[in-house]
Amino acid sequence: MIRKTKKTKYLIVVLVIILILLNSRSSYQSTNYKYSAIPKPMSPSTSLSESLIFYILSPENDSVFFDQPIFTYYISTMEAALSFWLNGSIVANLVNNSILPLTYRGWYNLTGVAIFNSSIITHQVIFGYFPDLSVNVNYTACYLNTWRHIYGYESDSIPTYGINEIITLFVQPNEKKETLNITIEYGRVQDVLPLDEGNYTWVNSTTLQITIEPLIRNYPMPSYLTHKMIFNMSSILPNSYNSQDFYFYRNVVPPQIIPFEYEKFLIATLSGAAYGHFYIWSMISELVNISIYLDGFLILEEYNKNGFRIEYFTIIIDTTLYSNGNHTLEILVTDFFNLTSKVEYILDFFNHESTNSTTEIITNNGSSSLTWLYYLIGFYCLSVLAILIFRRYYIRRKKQA
């Protein structure tokens, strides 16, 4: 009978321990919420003293927001120590009447703890944050266009890539992949097609890496300059569908060199100082170099590795420095992506013999009239000098006699 009583006591103790564990498990609030399940919130609880009053005013429990909510609370004394946790992580510098720092769509557990003297109050609320689905595209393009905008694209600059570049994009949706489905389309603006899944992978639960291969061929202008990606997103959470576009450029067209209309520089016979005017047209990038050669010799160059933009330039050639006849003019223009245009023109120079006062006049027999003049002046000077010497010598001899 005694042994039976001891066994009964042991069973009672075991049952009490099991009940305590079950009770504590039911009060535990998990921070890993699955999909749209809403955990049971914890009401304000007070221990040891009723002298401290604290509770969260906003967001309210079971509330849903489509914009970031304003956080407010009530505390009976400003001397209390406050701390706040969001989904199990402490939030630093969270003050009253501030915007909650929410990063991703989903359900959130906000817990606040107030401590004053011997009083401790904990308040927990559960709320949902479901803004429109969106993605943030991070790129590392070496060239950005700030001077040309695509209709409907809100960015201040558009990334631009060369023909042979491998493009790597890091895309961050505002929802974790566990509850998100995303498909990507890519191509020209006119014919966007589904992107091969081999071109994108999840780096982690919040970041998608996309790789775009180089263009196989130099596409004709202008249809392949603008490229577009479409991110189609759906979710099992509220506000569950959205689509977002991302544009970028492929620099496939080299700069163009165009002579002025009705430019006589290229078709007329040139003499004296000759002026030639040329347009430079660039679809995408700035220029880094202009080089101009005449008969293979560099006569003009403009270079800036950071790029420059000009609409036209003027060439001035002093044709009197060159022989009459044909001469080859070569113009090379290179843009930021090392796409180069080259044009060649044949110029015709002809200059008549000059007849100004500094040029000798050639007579019919081949002698120069100026030469005879110089001879006469020299003979006259020598004659005068001889007379002066003879006169001085004659006067001296006469005095001696």
Average pLDDT per block of 10 residues along the chain, 401 residues long = 50 51 39 37 48 93 95 93 94 92 94 93 96 95 80 79 90 95 87 85 95 66 72 94 92 88 85 92 88 95 89 91 95 92 95 50 38 62 72 66 58
CB atoms within 10 A of CB 60: 12
- Give residue 311's pLDDT: 86
Q: What is the DSSP letter of 35?
A: T
Helix (H, G, I), strand (E, B) or coil at 148: coil
> Is the Cβ–Cβ distance between 169 and 159 less than 8 Å?
no
Judge whether 246 and 228 are in contact, CB under 8 Å. Answer: yes
Question: What is the pLDDT, as a whole number, of residue 165?
Answer: 87
SS3 370: helix
The helix (run of H) or strand (run of E) holding residue 262 is none
* Domain architecture of the chain: domains with CATH: 2-129 (2.60.40.10), 135-251 (2.60.40.10), 256-349 (2.60.40.10)
Give the per-residue pLDDT at 375: 61
Q: Give me the residue label for tokens 């003027």.
A: 314
The CA distance from 162 to 167, in Å, is: 9
CB of 150 within 8 A of CB of 246? Answer: no
pTM of the model: 0.66
In a 3-state reduction of DSSP, which class is residue 387?
helix
- The region that residue 187 occupies, defined by phi over 0 for left and psi between -120 and 50 for alpha, beta otherwise, is left
Radius of gyration from C-alpha coordinates of the chain: 45
Residue with tokens 């590392």: 140
Side chain identity at residue 208, one-letter code: L
Question: 374 Cβ partners below 8 Å, 6+ apart?
Answer: none
Residue 183, pLDDT score: 93
pLDDT in the model for residue 214: 80
The residue type of 86 is L
pLDDT for 13 = 47
Element (H, E) at 80: none
> Are residues 66 and 131 in contact, defined by beta-carbon separation less than 8 angstroms?
yes
**pLDDT of 396:** 65
Structure tokens that stand for 264 in this block: 């006589």
In Å, how far are 158, 160, 167, 249, 387 from 142, measured between CA atoms? 11, 7, 11, 12, 90
Gap between the Cα atoms of 162 and 5, Å rounded: 88
Task: Find out whether 36 and 236 touch, Cβ atoms under 8 Å.
Answer: yes
